[in-house]
Amino acid sequence: FSRLYHLSPAASKKRATELLEQFSLTDAAKRPIKTYSGGMRRRLDLAASLIVKPKILFLDEPTTGLDPRGRIEMWEVIQGLVKDGTTLLLTTQYLEEADQLADEIAVIDHGKVIARGTSDQLKKEVGGERLEIVAEAKDLKQVAEIVGKVSGGKVLVEEGSRQVSAPVTTGSRALIEAVRSLDDLGIHPLDIALKRPSLDDVFIALTGHVAEENKPEEGEVKSRRGRRK
């Protein structure tokens, strides 16, 4: 592969050795590629693209099909590249991945950029924190009333998951007030939390549908990592 870039045999060998070590592939260097795991093949593909140390690198769905461990390993590789000064343009259907890796995110739906900004900026567009309470089915009505008083916003009741939620603007104060009200009524929630919107919430709010990993034309997230100037 290095010959395409007119590297000398000595330079090619040196660079290959460096990349195999960088991507933890040294022990597998003499094995047939067909014996590599999916994660190893992805790392090898990325290593090959770094033969000439590009300043800008495009990665299209680099972790698709990897198991959780392989995905985390690839994230570490990507973060290392950025730390070393490479600017990356990454396309992904995994919104958690964009949240973890990107300095800047562009949300694309049906071929159009519909939003752009940092993860925090996009989450703020959707709204602030949400108070979420999971309770026994018999308590849902009273819990919804409490959440409505604390929130002042639209209350969402999901009977299947027995969850009541609503947006709040007072943060932990709303949580404390809800806990006190529940205690006054003798209601013991199964779970109670104050949560910020996720990028999944952002995507749904912006597009009206979830990100479908098997249908990239339906919605896509592009993210960029690199040195700040």
CATH code for the domain in which residue 109 is found: 3.40.50.300
Q: Are residues 76 and 42 in the same domain?
A: yes
Q: Are residues 106 and 148 in the same domain?
A: no
Using left for φ > 0, alpha for ψ between -120 and 50, and beta otherwise, residue 163 falls in: beta
Residue 157 three-state SS: strand
Chain center to CA of 226: 17
**Burial of 220 by CB count in 10 Å (0-12 exposed, 13-18 middle, 19+ buried)?**
buried
The two counts, helices (H) then strands (E), for the chain are 8, 9
Q: Would you give the DSSP letter of residue 90?
A: E
> Looking at the 3D structure of the chain, how many domains does it have?
2
Q: Are residues 19 and 100 in the same domain?
A: yes
The interaxial angle of helices 38-48 and 9-22, nearest 10 deg, is 140
Q: Would you give the DSSP letter of residue 102?
A: -
* Domain-embedded: residue 68: yes
Q: Are residues 170 and 108 in the same domain?
A: no
pLDDT value of position 210 = 63
CATH number at residue 166: 3.30.70.920
Distance CA 67, CA 65 (A): 7
Q: Are residues 107 and 78 in the same domain?
A: yes
Q: Are residues 108 and 155 in the same domain?
A: no
Distance CA 139, CA 143 (A): 6
Q: Are residues 119 and 220 in the same domain?
A: yes
* Domain-embedded: residue 204: no
Q: Are residues 49 and 154 in the same domain?
A: no
Phi, psi of 151 (to 5 degrees): -80, -50
Residue 165 three-state SS: strand
Q: Are residues 118 and 220 in the same domain?
A: yes
Q: How far apart are the first and last CA of the chain?
A: 32
Q: Which two tokens stand for residue 147?
A: 């959440």
In one-letter notation, the amino acid at residue 123 is K
* Domain-embedded: residue 205: no
Q: Are residues 110 and 134 in the same domain?
A: no
Parent domain of 67: 2-123+210-225
Distance CA 111, CA 120 (A): 23
* Domain-embedded: residue 134: yes
* Domain-embedded: residue 84: yes
Q: What angle do CA 114, 63, 229 make, to 5 degrees?
A: 60
* Domain-embedded: residue 202: no
Q: Are residues 148 and 221 in the same domain?
A: no
Mean pLDDT per 10-residue segment, the chain (229 residues): 77 88 88 89 87 89 84 88 92 90 92 92 82 96 96 89 91 94 96 89 77 50 56
* Domain-embedded: residue 20: yes
* Domain-embedded: residue 201: no
pLDDT value of position 215 = 47
Q: Are residues 42 and 119 in the same domain?
A: yes
Closest CA to 193 of 227, 229, 157, 168: 168
pLDDT value of position 213 = 52
pLDDT value of position 66 = 81
Residue 127 three-state SS: coil
